[in-house]
Amino acid sequence: MTLRTVRGKIVANSALIVVLLAGASLYSGFASLELDQSVEALFRNNLTMENYQNLLDQTQTSLTEYLRTKSSDSLKDFIRNSTQLSDRASLLNENIVADQSLLLQRDLSRVFETYLAVAQAGIEAKRGRDTIVYAQNFETASREAGYARILISDLKNQFLSQSLETFSYYRSLIPGVLFSNAALILAATFLAFGLLLSYSRALTEPLSRLAEAAAAMGKGEFRTAIPHVNSKDEIGTLARSFAQMQEGVRDSFENLQTRVEVERKLYEERMQVLELNHRLKDAELLALQTQINPHFLFNTLSAGIGLAGAEDASRTSAFLENLSGFIRYTLTPTSRFVPISDEMDCLDRYIWLLKLRFEDRFAFLVEIDEEIRQVEVPAMILQPLVENSIGHGLSDYESGGVVVIRGYWEDNMAVLSVWDNGIGMEPIEVESVVREALDPDPSSSGGIGLRNVIRRIQLSTNGSGRVEIQNRNAVGLEVRILLPSVRGNEA
């Protein structure tokens, strides 16, 4: 357990509080102990002096009793008491020192020695029946006993005075001791509260913020700020680990969102492809429906060509041959890609037929760059545009009608253009044609005319090709088909 852990910090600060409280208690206890020791010394010294005085009185009593009655019991009492008094007297101070109480003890020791010596001499004189001597010794012993009592009384007073001085000194220290003790206790209490508040804040604040961040993560808010904890204890480790977990969850969630978005886009693209395929099939169906009758007509014309040849009708045979070639090309599936050269062969036959029908009423100009003749395009995209120019733009022209068909490269796009000098189209009419051509409901744009061409270009190129319809210099109408170069391959 180290100070870097929460437990170590709590134990260390709790130990500090305990030490302060223990110091306050020990300080107060030692002060009380010294005061108690001073009072105890007073009673102990007084009790010692009382013992000396009692032994002296008992010795003196047993001496007096023996000198009067010469009783053996009294002699035994005297010997016992005098022996104890002598032993106790030997414990008194024998040296000359500066201390007044020790000097009194020295004097008391000398008096006890003199008293015991005189008393013993009186006992011996009593045994020898020398009345005068034991009477003198008894008087001297009684006088020495009086001296001893005086010295014992002086020692008591001396001890009392010293004890009172010590008691007064310690009594004067009691307010300071109480104040110091109270200050230490208050300091320990405030420190304990301060540490409690500090550690409760240090522990609960980051934990509360971590709890808020966890609740936010539970609601899907993965960018909630994590509290930055600099400590290296368990809370700091928890905060750093939680931040790493949040980052990992956020990255996983973002990756999941990215994957879902990619899958959604792929699904949308797949649905678009399916929708385009569906529209293309609808357009093919419409084109096939228009080819049912030409099949019968083509077979009939083939029989007519044979008949015209047999009758040597060359112009009729050429007419029938161009017509049958044109009809044969129209039977090509409109979803199939063909070279522009094949598309132009069909268009040339169609123009021959138009000239045969209208003679010099319309002029046709064809300008196709050789470099794009092998570019593959959806079948039957030029003839409907030329037919649209003749049937709509130039329908009121008796002469002077011009149709220009051009093919060239422009910004990596193969461009096929059909322009006529007819009446053109109003912008609202152009918008209606384009809207109907791109309508998901194929029934809104029947036939294989301009609308069908726009629809097939949009579907066959998956939206990368386009048809532009615009009035040109306020005269006539130009329809441009732009096909991406990736669909074409030059020979």
- d(Cα 140, Cα 107) in Å, to the nearest integer? 17
Q: Count the neighbouring beta carbons within 10 Å of the beta carbon of residue 397.
A: 17
Both ends of the chain: CA-CA distance in Å? 85
CB of 478 closer than 8 Å to CB of 472:
yes
Q: Which residue has the tokens 């049958």?
A: 324
Q: Model pTM?
A: 0.40
Q: Are 414 and 482 in contact (CB under 8 A)?
A: yes
Q: Per DSSP, what are the bridge partners of residue 416?
A: 407, 481
Biggest alpha carbon–alpha carbon distance for the chain: 213
- Which phi and psi (to 5°) does residue 386 adopt? -65, -40
Domain boundaries, the chain: 6-204, 275-487
CA-to-CA dists, residue 332 to 73, 95, 383, 454, angstroms: 167, 151, 13, 18
Distance CA 416, CA 383 (A): 12
How far is CA 276 from each of CA 8, 270, 289, 382, 401, rounded to the nearest angstrom? 72, 10, 20, 22, 38
User: Which single residue is written with the structure tokens 């744009």?
Assistant: 445
The whole-number pLDDT of residue 320 equals: 65
Rounded to whole angstroms, how far apart are CA atoms 192 and 185?
10
Q: Distance (Å, rounded) from C-alpha 458 to C-alpha 435? A: 12
Residue 98, pLDDT score? 64
Three-state SS for 203?
A: helix
55 neighbors 84 (Cβ within 8 angstroms)? yes
Token pair in block for residue 282: 């609808």
Taking alpha carbons only, the member of 363, 343, 346 closest to residue 404 is 363
* DSSP assigned state of 446: -
pLDDT at residue 200 in the model: 72
Q: Which two tokens stand for residue 207?
A: 């934990």
Q: Assign 414 to helix, strand or coil.
A: strand
Return the H-helix or E-strand segment holding 171: helix 131-218
pLDDT of residue 341: 92
Q: Which residues contact 152 (CB under 8 A, 6 or more apart)?
A: 49, 52, 53, 56, 108
Q: What is the 3-state secondary structure of 353-379?
A: HHHHHHCCCEEEEEEECHHHCCCEEEC
Strand partners, 466: 482
Q: What's the Cα-to-Cα distance from 34 to each of 144, 179, 463, rounded to whole Å?
A: 38, 17, 108
Contact partners, residue 415, CB within 8 Å, separation at least 6 = 406, 407, 408, 409, 480, 481, 482, 483
Contact of 335 with 378, CB cutoff 8 Å: yes
User: Domain 6-204 falls in which CATH fold?
Assistant: Four Helix Bundle (Hemerythrin (Met), subunit A) (1.20.120)
Say if CB 424 and CB 476 are below 8 A apart: yes
Nearest CA-CA partner of 148 in 99, 115, 103, 119: 115
Point out the residues of the chain with pLDDT beneath 50.
285, 288-289, 291-293, 295-296, 300, 444-447, 486-491
DSSP one-letter code for 487: G
Q: Which residues contact 255 (CB under 8 A, 6 or more apart)?
A: none
Tokens linked to 103: 């000097």
Under 8 Å between Cβ of 457 and 382: no
Give how far the C-alpha of residue 319 lies from the chain's centroid of Cα atoms, to the nearest Å: 86
d(CA 233, CA 10): 12
Sorted by sequence, the CB contacts under 8 Å of residue 143 that are 6+ apart come out as none
Homologous superfamily (CATH) for 275-487: Histidine kinase-like ATPase, C-terminal domain (3.30.565.10)
